[in-house]
Amino acid sequence: MRRILLSDHFDYKKLLRFTLPSMITLVFASVYGVVDGFFVSNYVGKTPFTAVNFIMPFLMMLGCVGFMFGTGGGALIAMTMGQGKKEQAKRLFSLIVYVSGVCGVVLMVLGLLFLRPLAVFLGAQGQLLEDSVTYGRLILLAIPAYILQYEFQCLFVTAEKASLGLYVTIAAGCTNIVLDALFVAVLGWGLEGAAAATALSQVVGGLIPLIYFARPNNSLLRLGRTEFDGRALVKVCTNGSSELLNNISMSLVNMLYNLQLLKYIGEDGVAAYGVLMYVSLVFQAVFIGYSVGTAPIVGYHYGAQNVLELKGVLKKSLTLLGAFAAAMFGASFLLARPLSFVFTGYDEGLLALTVRAFSLFAFSFLFSGYVIFGSSFFTALNNGLISAAISFMRTLVFQVAAVLIFPLIWKVDGIWLSMVAAEVLALGVTAAFLRVEKKRYGY
């Protein structure tokens, strides 16, 4: 079967073939990220499980810098290739990877310095505080590799090697699953074992692509000599700012949700929310993976000024996203209790709370895919401002407002419903931007 090129015409079949590896990659990455929660919850205890969920937003906030470099850099590289400047695209690729590696080391040091003060500030006390710091410190040691892993998940698609990105993610995921089983279930290393398993899997996910691109290969990109280009880096950061802002905002909002849940329910609320976020990561990964997969296509044809192809990709994507949304919504209802039982089956009260939360939260899947794609679409068009605006309104405005106001009216149910309301409002903003900018971009 012929390899699909960015320059091709994309019908539904070819669009799905090209984006499927990205979707599977993100889903698999989310699944193996859930493994820690499973082993900690079932083999270590409820408080350590709560600690993992409590500190995870901060760790993800640091790692998502790689997503900024990957999406923003991928958009600029794809547009540059669409303009026929292949050597310049390779130099940009090398610059982006080198700079992100340096950022990873800096963030690791800062994270280690501020981990405990931050956990205290967020309300952790006693054993919850100690467990959060223990888990966080080990994960932080792998943050440079974690950033590269996030980044390469996007850049593999730009290099027309999405399938290879999937294989790397599978290798990292298997590393995490096997080591979690060994360190936690067999050797009994507890929370430290779970953290070590995750950190080592991130090293695998970050270093294998680094080695691949540093050697001669048959992809569109390769690491090599470069030169500092401040303007290009600003463009990359601007393009990817929406993804960075979205991930940072989500992490901050997750911290706010944890505070509200501690206030209204206690540690059980944080544990239930953790299960919700684990499952949400897997389901949302379908939308994110599709958006990551289509972004280089959009960027390439935008650079080549192929307006008809832009129109076709957008129209087909909206149709496919509708089908994905219906499937996610249906699956969330069918699997609410079984998935909740996997993590909380040992505690009937916590299980009931989690299933109730799931039944309300599931409605958000009907809307979130369009918002995620809309933000990514404008990133691919190298319009980071609109992309960031969508992400900002979705998280730091709508979700924050909803999670502060809704519990005053509907108590605990209001916390779960606030996520749905935020997605509905964000969808309205996304649709408005797509309509306003239609004439400018010609889609």
Q: Mean pLDDT across the stretch 302-309?
A: 89
Q: Mean pLDDT across the stretch 115-119?
A: 91
Q: Bigger pLDDT: 80 or 263? A: 80
Q: What is the pLDDT of residue 327?
A: 93
Nearest to 272 by CA among 282, 281, 262: 262
Task: Please check whether residue 1 lies inside any domain of the structure.
Answer: no
Statement: residue 241 has pLDDT above 80: no
Amino acid at residue number 66? G
> Any alpha helices (H) in 83-125, and if so which ranges?
86-121
Rounded to whole angstroms, how far apart are CA atoms 62 and 129? 20
Rounded to whole angstroms, how far apart are CA atoms 243 and 204? 23
Q: What is the pLDDT of residue 124?
A: 80
pLDDT (tens digit per residue) in 334-375 = 888 888 887 777 778 888 888 888 889 899 999 999 999 999
Instruction: Please tell me the least confidently modeled range out of 203-217, 230-244, 307-321.
Output: 230-244
54-79 as b/e: b if 16+ CB within 10 A: bbbbbbbbbbbbbbbbbbbbbbbbbb
Rounded to whole angstroms, how far apart are CA atoms 161 and 341? 37
pLDDT (tens digit per residue) in 28-53 = 777 766 777 788 888 888 788 888 87
Q: Mean pLDDT across the stretch 303-323?
A: 93
Angle at CA of residue 192, ends 187 and 197, nearest 5°? 75
Rounded to whole angstroms, how far apart are CA atoms 241 and 68? 6
Q: Mean pLDDT across the stretch 398-426?
A: 91
Nearest to 387 by CA among 26, 34, 72: 72
350-375 as b/e: b if 16+ CB within 10 A: bbebbbbbbebbbbbbbbbbbbbbbb
Q: What is the pLDDT of residue 36?
A: 72
pLDDT (tens digit per residue) in 277-291 = 777 878 888 998 899
Mean pLDDT of the chain: 88
Task: Please check whether residue 2 lies inside any domain of the structure.
Answer: no
What are φ and ψ of residue 141, in 5° steps? -65, -25
The answer for residues whose C-beta is within 8 angstroms of residue 71's C-beta and 6 or more apart is 154, 239, 240, 242, 243, 292, 295, 376, 379
The answer for residues whose C-beta is within 8 angstroms of residue 169's C-beta and 6 or more apart is 25, 28, 29, 153, 205
Q: What is the pLDDT of residue 33?
A: 61
Domain residues for the domain of 391 are 12-441
pLDDT (tens digit per residue) in 138-176 = 999 999 999 999 899 889 988 888 888 889 988 998 899
Quickly state the pLDDT bin for 104 (edges 50, 70, 90).
Answer: very high
Query: From the CB of residue 43, how many other CB atoms can be counted at a distance below 10 Å?
Result: 20
Q: What is the pLDDT of residue 427?
A: 96
Pair of tokens at residue 39: 């082993």
The answer for residues whose C-beta is within 8 angstroms of residue 407's C-beta and 6 or more apart is 260, 264, 414, 415, 418
Nearest to 396 by CA among 240, 255, 238: 255
Q: How far is CA 387 from CA 23, 245, 313, 326, 430, in A?
A: 21, 10, 18, 25, 9
Q: What is the pLDDT of residue 105?
A: 96
CA 21 to chain centre: 16
Rounded to whole angstroms, how far apart are CA atoms 248 and 242? 10
Amino acid at residue number 236? V
160 neighbors 147 (Cβ within 8 angstroms): no
Rounded to whole angstroms, how far apart are CA atoms 233 and 7? 25
Q: How far is CA 276 from CA 284, 337, 353, 364, 384, in A?
A: 12, 11, 11, 12, 30
* Number of helices and strands in the chain (H, E): 17, 0
Task: Please check whether residue 5 lies inside any domain of the structure.
Answer: no
Number of domains in the chain: 1
Task: Please check whether residue 3 lies inside any domain of the structure.
Answer: no
Task: Please check whether residue 6 lies inside any domain of the structure.
Answer: no
Statement: residue 244 has pLDDT above 80: no
Helix axes 241-264, 267-303, angle to 10 degrees: 170
Q: What is the pLDDT of residue 143?
A: 95
User: Using CB atoms within 10 A of its CB, is residue 308 exposed (0-12), middle (13-18) or buried (19+)?
Assistant: exposed
